[in-house]
Copies of this chain bind each other. A is one copy, B any other.
């Protein structure tokens, strides 16, 4: 699986020359994976020229739908916390799915599943939110061991779904040690049929199959008083190796969210292009 041989920009893994993710274009990474959602996400990013994910941390269906429609043209992914909406209904989901189709982005529910397999299977497919029915991607903590992944997979029922492992957190005092990050990497490598990538503040991994999502991105702020710590889009992409930046309050709380989304999108895609500019892939 890791024996993707290239002539240039290679790094070494298990003695085999492999492409380094950070030097590769999103287009060139499509063929490195069989995961249909990873492929689809690379296609969206390459065609739409955006590696921006908006974290839609709003608390009503109206705000969520309005935000998704406004920033839709500028994003590859809409990250939701569906469980903070005061007026969630099937209508919320119908509208989100329509907007995802209209603007060509994927839906990413940031549930941070963190329980044993039998429980997360029920949480994923059941309850008020029926997340498996509408969210292309979900976030998962590797903390419970890989039963959490097997549990989610047991609930998919033929749908095209994937998860993103939260291997490192951006908050102050997070307990995601180096060993923890390393164990999440191993877990991902053992479950490539479901794991699309990592939510992390940084990654040394050059594996082109996995997408690195970096939250805690904001221009001109350093923290929020409840432990959140911010980095800029350029720093996230050029210094920390992010493929996709996740921006929440920098866009949702901007006086003009559309203008803010454009600004983050341009800054992030420029940084990505700068990162790969010497690459031949």
Interface residues of A (CB under 8 A from B): 57, 59, 81-86, 88, 110, 112, 114-119, 121-123, 126-129, 141-148, 150-151, 154, 169-177, 179-180, 183-184, 224, 226-228
Residues in B with CB closer than 8 Å to A81 are: 115, 119, 122-123
The 16 sampled A-B contact pairs (Cβ below 8 Å) are: A57-B122, A81-B115, A84-B123, A84-B127, A110-B115, A112-B115, A121-B226, A141-B141, A142-B175, A144-B174, A144-B227, A146-B173, A146-B227, A175-B180, A175-B183, A177-B180
Min CB gap A34→B, angstroms: 24
Determine if B145 and A227 form an interchain contact, defined as CB atoms under 8 angstroms apart. Answer: yes
- CA of A115 to CA of B85, assembled, Å: 16
Min CB gap A89→B, angstroms: 9
Nearest chain B residue, comparing its CB with the CB of A117: B226
Using A86-B127, A119-B57, A122-B57 as known contacts, say yes or no to A169 and B144 having CB atoms under 8 A apart.
yes
Determine if B128 and A83 form an interchain contact, defined as CB atoms under 8 angstroms apart. Answer: yes
Determine if A176 and B143 form an interchain contact, defined as CB atoms under 8 angstroms apart. Answer: yes
Determine if B154 and A226 form an interchain contact, defined as CB atoms under 8 angstroms apart. Answer: yes
Q: Which of B84, B123, B143, B146 contacts A143 (CB 8 A)?
A: B143
Residues in B with CB closer than 8 Å to A112 are: 114-115
Using A81-B122, A85-B127, A119-B81 as known contacts, say yes or no to A173 and B145 having CB atoms under 8 A apart.
yes
Known pairs A147-B173, A147-B228 / 18 extra A-B pairs, C-beta < 8 Å: A81-B122, A81-B123, A83-B123, A84-B119, A86-B126, A86-B127, A110-B115, A116-B227, A117-B226, A118-B226, A118-B228, A143-B143, A143-B169, A143-B174, A144-B175, A144-B227, A145-B169, A145-B175
